[in-house]
Amino acid sequence: MKKIRIGFAGLRHGHIFGLYNLARQNEYLDVAGVFEDSPEGMAEAEKNNVAVTHTDYKSLLAEVDAVAVGTFYADRGRLCIEALEAGKHVIADKPLCTRLDELAKIRELAEKKSLTVGMMLDLRDNKNVVAAKELTDSGEIGKINNICFQGYHPLMYGVRPDWYFEKGKHGGTINDIAIHGVDLVRRFTGSDLDTVIGARCWNFYAKQCRHFRDSAQFMLKMSNGAGVIADVSYATPDNHGYNIPLYWNFAISGEKGMITFNAASEGVSLYKLGSEPVIVKGKQPDRIYLDDIVDEIMNPAERTVTTETLRSAEQTLLIQKSADRNDG
């Protein structure tokens, strides 16, 4: 069996090292090289025991079938486009890119060259998300009318990489965090974004960095008529990290009942008229997001991963653009 030769490009965010470890464990992938040309990325590579093999991106592209991109957010679009132009599949940490024109070019190249574009949308693999998806797919709560979600994060100023707070490198809190929530809303409802009713980003917590808009909220109408209200602010006190109920907390209401859960809850709470609440426990899936991406690379006629990745990325960028117009 011929393995997919995958290279890593940019080691500027901790997420990419998780993907690196997953790739090394995947029987269909061969980690064939790592590109990094910044002192900061080199330091992160050393800290995570990853050997940098290339300081020239084009030389890496010449030796691989696919590229995993993990540079700073505003540079990801460029690296993805260059990889696709070279005929390579792309797996990116989220966000995929920070501009709609970059996304349009990524879509154009992927379609023209029949290449796969995937993203690290690993919240799909959370056992409670899996259970919630099974409940919504089965019609247990009927047609979905509204979804509220929070994706609170700790700011960790001084702990996160310096580039995170540099002007022009981050690309927006909604595009950074809410991509997970928007992707799951699409999966739960089976519909796409229809209208951004309202969106706002503003600075509150990062007082050392006033241009960094760390608070974000939005309201949406989906194409099936469902409403969505979300808050993805850096509101969690740093000492509590990701250990709070509002780290990926969802309430989904339908015509027959509602479900609530968060990323770490005991299970999914199901509430139906005339019945006592029930806790539905999920199981870790046998397959993860990376397996679906690898399957599509090996079977190019199947385009679901690329289609869904690009739609979720585009709709999140549209929400971010709406918030940017409001300017706080």
Query: How many domains, the chain?
Result: 2
How far is 157 from 166, CA to CA, in rounded Å?
Answer: 12
- Whether residues 98 and 156 fall in one domain: no
271-280 residue pLDDT tens: 999 899 999 9
- Residues 135 and 91 grouped into a single domain: no
Residue 298 lies in a domain: no
Nearest to 183 by CA among 111, 115, 125, 110: 125
- Average pLDDT for 301-316: 95
What is the Cα–Cα distance from 266 to 251, expressed in whole angstroms?
Answer: 15
The per-residue pLDDT for 40 is 94
My answer on whether 191 and 93 are in the same domain is: no
Residues 113, 107: Cα–Cα separation, whole Å: 10
Q: Tens digit of pLDDT for each residue in 236-273?
A: 999 999 999 999 999 999 999 999 999 999 999 999 99
Rounded mean pLDDT, 220-237: 98
**Is residue 258 within 8 Å of residue 251, measured between CB atoms?**
yes
Domain ends where: 115, 139, 160? 115
> Could you tell me if 79 and 135 lie in one domain?
no
Could you tell me if residue 59 is inside a domain?
yes
Would you say residue 303 lies in a domain?
A: no
Amino acid at 116: T
Rounded average pLDDT over 195-213:
96
**Strand 4-9 vs strand 66-69: parallel, antiparallel, or unpaired?**
parallel
Residue 57 falls inside a structural domain: yes
From 115, 150, 166, the end of a domain falls on: 115
Q: 42 and 172: one domain? A: no
In a shared domain, residues 160 and 268: yes
Give a yes or no: residue 120 inside a domain.
no
What radius of gyration do the chain's Cα atoms show?
20
DSSP for 277-302, please give it: -EEE-----SS-HHHHHHHHHHSTT-
pLDDT tens digits, one per residue of 131-188: 999 999 999 999 999 999 999 999 999 999 999 999 999 999 999 999 999 999 999 9
CA atoms 161, 163, 166, 170: torsion sign: negative
Q: Are residues 30 and 160 in the same domain?
A: no
Q: pLDDT class for 300, splitting at 50, 70, 90?
A: confident
Q: What percent of the chain has pLDDT over 90?
A: 95
For the record, the structure tokens of 209 come out as 């960095």
Q: Residue 162: its pLDDT value, please?
A: 94
CATH of the domain at 177: 3.30.360.10
Q: Which domain covers residue 231, as residue numbers?
A: 126-287+320-326
For residues 108 and 151, membership in a common domain is answered with no
* CATH number of 21's domain: 3.40.50.720
Examine the domain organization and report whether 73 and 167 are in the same domain: no
Inform me whether the pLDDT recorded for 191 exceeds 80: yes
Percent of the chain topping pLDDT 70: 99
- Which residues on neighbouring strands pair with residue 193, listed in sequence order? 222
pLDDT reported for residue 328: 65
Is residue 295's pLDDT more than 80?
yes
Q: Which of 60, 92, 115 is the last residue of a domain?
A: 115
**How distant, in Å, are the alpha carbons of 27, 140, 178, 319 from that of 128?**
27, 15, 18, 26
Cα torsion 290, 232, 319, 18 to 10°: value is: -20
pLDDT digits (tens, 9 = 90+) for 46-99: 999 999 999 999 999 999 999 999 999 999 999 999 999 999 999 999 999 999
- The residue whose two tokens read 């690290």 is 120
Whether the per-residue pLDDT at 24 is higher than 90: the answer is yes
Q: Is residue 231 part of a domain?
A: yes
Report the candidate in 121, 113, 55 with the shortest Cα–Cα distance to residue 88.
Answer: 113
Mean pLDDT (the chain, rounded): 96
Mean pLDDT across 16-32: 97
Whether residue 37 is contained in a domain is answered as: yes
Does residue 164 sit in the same domain as residue 249?
A: yes
Give domain status of residue 293, yes or no: no
* Residue 9, phi then psi, degrees to nearest 5: -125, 105
Is 276 found in the same domain as 134? yes
- Asked if residue 80 and residue 132 are part of one domain, the reply reads no
Compare 291 and 300 and report the one with higher pLDDT: 291
Banded pLDDT at 301 (limits 50, 70, 90): confident
* The predicted structure's pLDDT at residue 271: 98
